[in-house]
Amino acid sequence: MNFDLRHNTDILAGLLFILIGGLAVVIARDYPMGVAARMGPGYFPTMLGGILCLFGVYIVARGIRSGEQVKGQWAWKPLALIALSIVLFGFLMDRFGIVPALVAVFFVSALAGHEFRFKETLFLTLVMGAFAVGVFFYGLKLPYPLFGW
């Protein structure tokens, strides 16, 4: 049985789930729990964090049992571009509005793929942007600015 952490995605994913679930439980312990019928603010993150920890333990066990190694290298460029697109959305949303933030998210995240096609990305941006504006701005009447200027 080969137990190499760096090349077994099941083990890494399971450890990440355990870490995030554990953080949710630790952060939520300062809030009142309540019961299932009358949930307090700490109930949902504690339960969800516990479920995530259990799911992580299952995935780690599956990774240890299979011992399957992943071939190839880490794809650092796509990972960095997807993370950058999320950070850009958070940065641009307040300053420039939802429409420019969505344009940045779609184009930067599309660059993470193997085949970037400008027309397809533009079409996806227009359709999803119109959908987001329709749902969040007009449908739900959320106070997001469409454009910051």
Q: What is the pLDDT of residues 68-101, one digit of tens each?
A: 776 777 778 888 999 999 999 989 988 898 889 9
On whether both 47 and 80 belong to a single domain, the answer is no
Asked whether the CA dihedral 136, 82, 93, 102 is positive or negative, the reply is negative
Burial of 133 (0-12, 13-18, 19+ CB in 10 A): middle
In a domain, 114, yes or no: yes
Write down which residue in 66, 89, 117 finishes a domain.
Answer: 66
On whether both 61 and 80 belong to a single domain, the answer is no
* Residue 145 pLDDT: 80
Q: Is the pLDDT of residue 1 over 60?
A: no
Q: What is the pLDDT of residues 4-48, one digit of tens each?
A: 666 777 888 899 999 999 999 999 988 888 888 888 888 999 999
On whether both 81 and 135 belong to a single domain, the answer is yes
Mean pLDDT score across all residues of the chain? 86
Say how many domains are in the chain: 2
In a domain, 46, yes or no: yes
* Residue 108 pLDDT: 92
